[in-house]
Amino acid sequence: MMSGLSRVNASAAVDEVVDILEDEGSVIIEGFVDETTLAGLWGDLGPSLSATAYSEKGYDGHRTRRLSSLFARTKHLVPVVTHPLYLQPARRIMQKPSHMWVGKSRIEVTPSIQLSATQAIQIDPGQGKQPLHRDDSLHLRRHPGPTSRVQLMLAMSEFTAENGATLVIPRSHHWDDERPPRYSEAFSSAMPAGSVLIWLGGVYHCGGANTSDKPRTSLTVSFDLGNLRQEENQFLAVPRETVLQLPEEVRRLLGYDLCPPGVGWNEMQDPYLLLEEDENLAP
């Protein structure tokens, strides 16, 4: 029986973080970013986040603001995603060698990892709990199974049980796909600003309810296994003006599409809308 989420500080060893993640599925790291990085993130993202409308879908939160495309908006994400206690555990947990036959040769292949989603999330007072979910369900992964995602949530403001700190069910990545998650099994990730919660894609979690009178502000990024993508990079291979000459079905097949339950979005929307905008702007 667990009594809370494990926590370490930023001087912890990579081995310790890997061991906690593999066993418990999540860890809080206090003092993860320095004050300059935190202030830089607030400066680059804060004004746009406050100006963003509330999410349209209940799942994303009618009292929650979400701002994406974060690498286009700030350089201060670099120390977050390259932090040794995030990047190295993500590599150690996901970059497991695999074997295959190519003709008579039995070869070993180690996959890469890639940045997947980036999003600032502000949960305003009055927002209720999000449904508990697993992030690797986006790729329809089966459980228990190899980890394909390692996610990070940075507390840009203090996280408390009252203001909507992320709720996590420890060890739930070991569960199968038949066991439903219950809020009574979840623990709050209360932590000071500048700390992070890291969790594996198979762990049940959700945004908490904000019953306080102040917003809870955060930023989330994910690393996914590098092979969860198209073989040929169609976005680089086919110029946008050529894509615009193709029928809708082919544009969508090239990747300008959403895959249920929610992979491939741009600013939380169907990426096909970008092509329609381009068409409307064309002379």
| Selected binder of ligand AKG within 27, 206, 243, 254 (CB under 6 A) | 206
Which residues partner with 276 through β-bridges?
Answer: none
| Selected binder of ligand AKG within 170, 181, 207, 215 (CB under 6 A) | 207
| Selected binder of ligand AKG within 147, 205, 215, 275 (CB under 6 A) | 205
Q: Segment contacting ligand AKG (CB under 6 A): 43-51, 202-210, 234-242, 266-274?
A: 202-210
CA distance 5 to 197: 9
Which residues partner with 29 through β-bridges?
Answer: 8, 196
Q: Is 149 in the site for ligand AKG (CB under 6 A)?
A: no
Nearest in space to 23 (alpha carbons), one of 39, 53, 2, 40 = 2
Q: Segment contacting ligand AKG (CB under 6 A): 15-23, 32-40, 89-97, 199-207?
A: 199-207
Q: Is 121 in the site for ligand AKG (CB under 6 A)?
A: yes
Instruction: Name the minimum Å distance from CB 207 to ligand AKG.
Output: 3
**Number of residues forming the site for ligand AKG (CB under 6 A):** 8
Residue with smaller CB distance to ligand AKG, 173 or 205: 205
Q: Write the CB contacts of 14 (distance below 8 Å, at least 6 apart in sequence).
A: 84, 85, 88, 89, 92
Residue with smaller CB distance to ligand AKG, 219 or 243: 219
Nearest in space to 215 (alpha carbons), one of 266, 265, 271, 165 = 165
CB 14 within 8 A of CB 150: no
Q: Segment contacting ligand AKG (CB under 6 A): 37-45, 141-149, 201-209, 237-245?
A: 201-209
Q: Is 166 in the site for ligand AKG (CB under 6 A)?
A: yes
- Count of beta carbons in the 10 Å neighbourhood of residue 222: 23
Beta strands in the chain (DSSP E): 7-9, 26-30, 64-67, 98-102, 105-109, 113-123, 149-155, 167-168, 187-188, 196-200, 205-206, 216-225
Residue with smaller CB distance to ligand AKG, 113 or 154: 154
Instruction: Name the minimum Å distance from CB 104 to ligand AKG.
Output: 46
Residues found near ligand AKG in the complex (CB under 6 A)? 121, 130, 153, 166, 205-207, 218
